[in-house]
Structure 1
Amino acid sequence: MQVASHSDAVANLYSHHHGWLVGLLRRKLGNVDNADDLAQDTFTRLLTARSEELIREPRAYLTTIASRLTAQYFRRLALERAYLDALAGMPEETVPSPEARMLVVEALTAISRVLDGLTPRVREIFLLAQLDGLTYAEIAAQFDMSVNAVQKSMIRAFQHCYTAVYSTE
């Protein structure tokens, strides 16, 4: 009967705090439809968390989850805008279909989420090597560090990416 108790706890949180959460998100987002969507996503996260832990400060807990979802929402918007700006410079006959654009934005969002799990320095080293094609020696000179330290940063980045992609948790 643990499932029922967890579901009941989430239902209780929903009934007592849903309206407040939508209002909070509406003020952040400026749009009630997006606020409704993110509030729904917040409670969905609670339902799928299956945590039996008692929530002592429900509004603080909901705010934390909703803030993370809001950050993801804005990250996705920024990626989508950047991608659409890049497409605007392409000849019309080479512009991908709306479905292909959506898939690319989803992929970029997933990549961004994985890269956000790296420390800023490791992320920058990884991107300089992978996107800009800099050698480890060039990166080491840019950061005033040893090539060995750059290699260790790249190992951490690759391990993090591997775990993010292939983890079954």
Structure 2
Amino acid sequence: MPTHSQLFTALFSKHYMWLRQRVNNTLGCEHSADRITADAFMRLLGLQNLNEVREPRALLSTIAKRLMINNWRRADLERAYLATLDDEPANTVASPEEHAMLIESLLQLDRLLSGLVRQAKQVFLHSLFDGWTYEQIARRLGISKSRIHQHMEQAYLACLLALAE
């Protein structure tokens, strides 16, 4: 039976160019395609049972799609964060290090809330970041205060479960 390293090398040799071309066709950027493809193979390398992979192209495609989605999500969050900075006084702008840490925190919060419906995320974020009262959120989103309480409960539960992991 081949070793993990031998299996990975064979999969890499056979599928790297195929995946890179596929990602490049989607993104239209060779640099991004190189990075996504490398990240996909790094994830593949981290799998324990490579000998059980029956459809390597399907697996690699799925990994690459998830990585692209994560990159798009990160870019969306970063654009939203930068848009909010435009509204802030110049002396409150974060350093590059603080900026990176804030983006990572926002991404972590986004992953944490990923199981919630869109409206629950909106309620939680308006309460957390905008400081809106439940009444303000209810008025803005056109839902009842009791629904706001339900959404906040769901969001808090998601946070608690993530902390327990």
Partners of 1:93 and 1:14 lie apart in 2 by 49
| Pairs within 5 Å for 1:134-149 | 134-135=133-134, 139=138, 142-143=142-143, 147=146
TM-superposed deviation, 1:11: 2.1
State the AA in 1 paired with 2:112. Answer: V
- Counterpart of 1:9 in structure 2 is 7
Structure 1 residues 98 and 125, CA, compared in 2 at 3 Å: closer, same or farther?
A: closer
How big is the alpha-carbon RMSD for the aligned residues of Structure 1 and Structure 2? 3.0
Q: For structure 1, which segment, 26-35 or 52-61, has the greater mean C-alpha deviation from structure 2 after superposition?
A: 52-61
- Counterpart of 2:64 in structure 1 is 66
TM-superposed deviation, 1:22: 1.1
Structure 1 residues 14 and 111, CA, compared in 2 at 3 Å: closer, same or farther?
A: same
- Counterpart of 2:115 in structure 1 is 117
Partners of 2:13 and 2:163 lie apart in 1 by 36
1:107 pairs with 2:105? yes
Give ranges in structure 2 of 5+ residues lacking alignment: none
TM-superposed deviation, 1:120: 3.2
State the AA in 1 paired with 2:40. Answer: T
- Counterpart of 2:76 in structure 1 is 78
What TM-score, normalized by structure 2, do the two folds share?
0.78
Partners of 1:123 and 1:35 lie apart in 2 by 31
TM-superposed deviation, 1:94: 2.8
| Pairs within 5 Å for 1:52-63 | 52=50, 54-63=52-61
Partners of 2:46 and 2:163 lie apart in 1 by 20
Note if contact 2:12-2:41 (Cα within 8 Å) is conserved in structure 1: yes
Residue 32 of structure 1: which of 21, 30, 33 is its match? 30
Q: For structure 1, which segment, 45-54 or 68-77, has the greater mean C-alpha deviation from structure 2 after superposition?
A: 45-54
Note if contact 2:7-2:50 (Cα within 8 Å) is conserved in structure 1: no
Deviation per residue, 1:78-111 (Å, 9 max, x gap):
1112222222343333322111111111111111
How many residues matched?
A: 163
Percent identity over the alignment? 35
What TM-score, normalized by structure 1, do the two folds share?
0.77
- Counterpart of 1:48 in structure 2 is 46
Partners of 2:110 and 2:38 lie apart in 1 by 23
TM-superposed deviation, 1:19: 0.9
TM-superposed deviation, 1:50: 1.7
